[in-house]
Amino acid sequence: MISISRFKPALLAAALTLSGSLGALAGTYDITVDKIRINTGEFTKTGVGYNKSQTPTILRFKEGETVTLRVKNNLRESTSIHWHGLILPFRQDGVPGISFNGIKPGETFTYRFPIVQSGTYWFHSHTGFQEPDGAFGAIVIEPKGGEPIKSQRDYVVQLTDTHPHNGNRIFRNLKMSADYYNRSQRTFQDLVRDSRANGLKSTLQERGMWGRMRMMPTDIEDVQGFVPLINGQSTRQNWSGLFKPGEKVRLRIINSSAMSYFDFRIPGLKMLVVQADGNPVKPVAVDELRVAVAETYDVIVQPRGNKPYSIVAESMGRTALVRGTLTPKLGLAGPVPRLRRKPLLTMADMGGMMGGMHGDMDMSGMGHVSSQGTMDHSQHQMPMDEEMDHSQHQMAAEPAEPAAPAMDHSKMDHSKMDHSKMTETAPAAKEMDHSKMGHGTMQKDTKSAGTMDHAAMGHGTKAKGTMDHAAMGHGTKAKGTMDHGNMNMAGMDHSKMDMGGMGHMMQPAEPGEFYAPGSGLKPVAYNGGKFLSYKDLRASRPLYRDRAPTRTIELRLTGNMERYIWSINDKKLKDSEPIRLKLGERVRFKFVNETMMSHPMHLHGMWTILDTGKGKWDPIKHTVSIAPGTTVYTETEVDAAGQWAFHCHLSYHAEAGMFRKVIVQ
Amino acid sequence: MKKLIAPLLALPLLAAPALAEPLLWGFQAEQFEYRERDGEDGFAWDFDLFVGRDEGKFVWRSEGEMGLSSGDYEGLDNQLLYQFPISPFFDGVAGVHASTPNGEPDRYNAVLGARGLAPQWFEIDAGLYLSDHPYMQVEVEYEGLLTNRLILVPSLEVTMPLKDDAARNQGAGGATVEVGARLSYDLIDRAVAPYVGFSYEKSFGDTGDMLRAAGEETDEFSLVFGTRLMF
């Protein structure tokens, strides 16, 4: 087996040299895989690294080059390297059990393949938990003819979530107790605080609702307690990149975390996003962007001040951040911002769960709910202060007088929900449309709520400026300002709702929505500015002509959080059949996230075209994050024969079974 | 232990990497404690040691209490169980049980039960112990988070003999109820969580009568000092 896999690339390389003898580049690179000490400044641990260093190795290739990579395994266990995002023959893809047999201790394995693309990628071990333990590096491929967008500085910014525990231990702990690392759970203190704010009854009802489902709204980061690093350096160690004021600086952001999404910003600078997952996109200026695990984004910034700028990567669950610095001279450090308020999941994020819950709760009637997540009960929660009384909610079809002109609720689409079955719903209710609905039931519960707090709804603390209640007729008492800083779902009285009848009334979310409406995860930029969305990504160099897919394959992302089992279509890898694709077809994948966690799905060997409704201009990626309660479509031109891995890139989800083998025939 | 297990874990990984699921194991002690009371002080434990996979695992469950001056086992219950999922939040268990304390006749039972997480986060462990001296036992626990590390765990355990067992002073229908509360602090992750608390046990009905007739107490209050363990 090994001899064959070595022989083939040799042949291939020979063929390439023969055919492309007009000066084909050929570089040889040596990589050692070593047991290393990792020092985060907060703790030290034993991990795995490349070339004996905790600073990630950067491989710099040129498009068109044929690379030879000699990987020497100095570990006492088997290893492997997967070239994340690279298009290559499958025997070179580096997944043990799928593309080859792995690299045994002491062995030097030689990868050889042509570089047929350009951009920012990365590489990592695909064996056990070596990647969470530190085995990753960066790949930068210079396009033929040079970078089309010039910059004077070019830095890799490789993020990771280094944890004091090694991967095996983390996985075992999660299996024993899925909330082992969740130190953001709601406590008695939160109960007291929420009771004061929203009233005891509604707070208990809200707790009861989550408790009935045995789900936690704090379940955003499975593994907390990590120290995030930029290029192997923690906040204290302060990775720094030099610039001269006015220079253009290209940052190649790579999220190599085991489990953590990072929200990335450079306070004071607009970032021009020019590349996503290695492929150029129409430049879009943003203030902040979310980098899902395994994604890469290239941004260009132009710091003009003669002062240090903080590079900040804050985890999606707001449990940790790392600060690096862009600086005009070494030795300076940008300020370290405080962690922002922790988000809470909402019922919108639970939308998909309900389909998967079996009779264990009184919502069983919802089995057929599409996981579009449009069941967003949080949306019922009209923000109000104590003087606002829902009884005055006209909810008339015609817009009432703008009570709070600065707010925009337009994104909250009540029309998707059928309230007709809600018992005790006051008058209106025959039409489903919220705009015509009396808030009878809700009002009863929410009235007591002094101030409601919107943070959990993803409106973030800055929501004030961006919400528009105008069309909702909040009655006359609404004040010009509302504190949305801290909304939670207290006050939703589910016990009075007959959910059985609701499911099939729901409509799918509009295409291009990548968070469930009302999701607690929808990010808001630190300065209230522009936060990158998948919708903003537009391929500037499509790789394929747009054509109709030959078929659609539905992949429901499923799991059982309590048991820490993660699966696709309710089957773990070991119980599953491979996904079989035909060479030359264009397949459409329908991802339906029925869990309450985000999953960065990564298909090896072939591009993933993310359907954002732009046809041939849809962005081309290798990893696509599927938020809870959402359905996302991607398309893949099946142009690479062989066996490939297809999995959630959260290390412990992949290991727990959210993984498929793909066979292209 | 770790040295023994490590090669076990490595084997399936080597055989078919990426596709195999490794064996999992774990040790969890809910109680590991000193009991101070009017009579003889005791040392008590309640732990599970398991090895297996998602689809099923073998569990050695041990509960007992030793008198600290006499060295006698006032209670000693060991179970070998197979535990397997029966619903999203519940496992079934089946196995054998041996109760072999000092000063009382030994009892052996077949065990059938269920354990898992009920709505509102109540941890339930219910078992039916079948032999000539059958009984049932239900345990309920709740983890109350005062903070994310300071945790108050109230517990309730009801043991109900289904037939008289005169040699052990157990009367059919006479329940023995144990209530407790333990306030713990997660000192090292969740691996070591020392606690203080109390445990109060009282026997009712025929069981109470039989204990009284034998000149024994029908209730007992203990202060407990110990640690939860998980690794």
More confident call, A172 vs A411: A172
Strand residue runs (E) in chain B: 24-36, 42-53, 56-67, 73-85, 90-99, 107-118, 122-130, 135-142, 144-145, 150-161, 176-185, 192-203, 219-230
pLDDT at A411 over 80: no
- Rounded percentage of chain A residues whose pLDDT exceeds 90: 69
Q: Identify the weakest region by mean pLDDT among A231-245, A371-385, A612-626.
A: A371-385
Task: Quickly name the fold that domain A147-184+220-343+521-535 has.
Answer: Immunoglobulin-like (2.60.40)
Q: What are A105-124's pLDDT values in tens digits?
A: 999 999 999 999 999 999 99
Q: Is residue B210 part of a domain?
A: yes
SS3 B59: strand
Structural domain containing residue B54: 32-230
List the CATH code of the domain at A542-664. 2.60.40.420
- In this predicted structure, what is the pLDDT of residue B20? 64
Structure-block tokens of residue A62: 């040129």
Give the Cα separation of A18 and A4 in Å (integer).
Answer: 21
Q: Which residue of A has its CA nearest to B15?
A: A97
Q: Which CATH class is domain A2-143?
A: mainly beta
| Count of all residues that appear for chain B in the document | 231
Nearest to A188 among B9, B14, B145 (CB): B145
pLDDT at A410 over 90: no
Give the Cα separation of A298 and A117 in Å (integer).
Answer: 15
Beta bridge partners of A112: A68
More confident call, A262 vs A16: A262
The reply to whether residue A78 touches residue B14, judged by beta carbons under 8 angstroms, is: yes
Chain A residues near residue B145 by CB distance under 8 angstroms: 185-188
Under an 8 Å CB criterion, which residues of B touch A?
9-10, 13-14, 16-21, 24-26, 28, 54, 85, 87-89, 117, 119-121, 144-149, 189-190, 230
More confident call, A467 vs A290: A290
Give the Cα separation of A504 and A501 in Å (integer).
Answer: 7
The reply to whether residue B25 touches residue A172, judged by beta carbons under 8 angstroms, is: yes
Over range A623-629, report the average pLDDT: 96
- In this predicted structure, what is the pLDDT of residue A24? 58
Q: Identify the weakest region by mean pLDDT among A90-104, A367-381, A632-646.
A: A367-381
- Smallest CA–CA distance, residue A615 to chain B, in Å, is 35
- Please report, for residues A102, A576, B157, B214, the alpha-carbon distance to residue B142 in angstroms, rounded to integers and kept in the order given: 46, 37, 12, 35
- Tell me which residues of chain A, numbers 54 to 93, contact chain B at a CB-CB cutoff of 8 Å: 77-78, 80
Nearest Cα neighbor of A346 from A550, A563, A494, A182 is: A494
The reply to whether residue A214 touches residue B20, judged by beta carbons under 8 angstroms, is: no
| Under-50 pLDDT residues of chain B | 1-18
Q: What are A192-205's pLDDT values in tens digits?
A: 999 999 999 999 99
Per-residue pLDDT band for A1 (boundaries 50, 70, 90) equals very low
SS3 A223: coil
- In this predicted structure, what is the pLDDT of residue A16? 40
Structure-block tokens of residue B43: 């040392």
Q: What is the CATH number of the domain that holds B101?
A: 2.40.160.40
The reply to whether residue A183 touches residue B21, judged by beta carbons under 8 angstroms, is: no
Where exactly are the structural domains of chain A?
2-143, 147-184+220-343+521-535, 345-505, 542-664
Say if A147-184+220-343+521-535 and A542-664 have the same CATH topology.
Answer: yes
Angle between the N-to-C axes of helices A347-356 and A200-213, in degrees from 0 to 180, rounded to the nearest 10: 40
- Please report, for residues A254, A283, A373, A537, B67, the alpha-carbon distance to residue A512 in angstroms, rounded to integers and kept in the order given: 24, 19, 14, 11, 68
- In this predicted structure, what is the pLDDT of residue B21? 77
Q: Cβ distance A302 to A247 under 8 Å?
A: yes
Over range A604-632, report the average pLDDT: 96
Angle at B53 between CA B49 and CA B57, to 5 degrees: 45
- In this predicted structure, what is the pLDDT of residue A349? 87
Nearest Cα neighbor of A351 from A182, A223, A515 is: A515
Nearest Cα neighbor of A619 from A530, A559, A532 is: A532
Does A576 touch chain B if contact means CB atoms closer than 8 Å?
A: no
Average pLDDT taken over every residue of chain A: 79
The reply to whether residue A177 touches residue B144, judged by beta carbons under 8 angstroms, is: no
Chain B residues near residue A645 by CB distance under 8 angstroms: 18
Q: Which value, to the nearest 10 degrees, does the dihedral of the CA atoms of residues A571, A577, A582, A585 take?
A: -10
Q: What are A534-573's pLDDT values in tens digits?
A: 999 999 999 999 999 999 999 999 999 999 999 999 999 9
Give the Cα separation of A127 and A110 in Å (integer).
Answer: 17
The reply to whether residue B146 touches residue A573, judged by beta carbons under 8 angstroms, is: no
Nearest to A175 among B19, B24, B121 (CB): B24
- Smallest CA–CA distance, residue B134 to chain A, in Å, is 30
Q: Which of B1, B9, B11, B14 to mutate to test the interface with A (most CBs of A within 10 A)?
A: B14
Counting one residue from chain A and one from chain B, the pairs whose CB atoms sit within 8 A come to: 90
Per-residue pLDDT band for A459 (boundaries 50, 70, 90) equals very low
Q: What are A38-62's pLDDT values in tens digits?
A: 999 999 999 999 999 999 999 999 9
The reply to whether residue A565 touches residue B230, judged by beta carbons under 8 angstroms, is: no
In degrees and rounded to multiples of 5, residue A656 shows phi and psi of -75, -5
pLDDT at A65 over 50: yes
The reply to whether residue A78 touches residue B16, judged by beta carbons under 8 angstroms, is: no
More confident call, A385 vs A163: A163
Give the Cα separation of A603 and A659 in Å (integer).
Answer: 10
How much is the pTM?
0.80
Q: Is residue B61 part of a domain?
A: yes
* Count of the separate structural domains present in chain B: 1
- In this predicted structure, what is the pLDDT of residue B127? 97
CB under 8 A, 24+ apart: contacts of B63-70: B64/B101, B65/B35, B66/B42, B67/B40, B67/B41, B67/B42, B68/B40, B68/B41, B68/B42, B68/B43, B69/B40, B69/B41, B70/B40
Q: What is the ipTM of this complex?
A: 0.90
In degrees and rounded to multiples of 5, residue B105 shows phi and psi of -65, 145
Per-residue pLDDT band for A26 (boundaries 50, 70, 90) equals confident
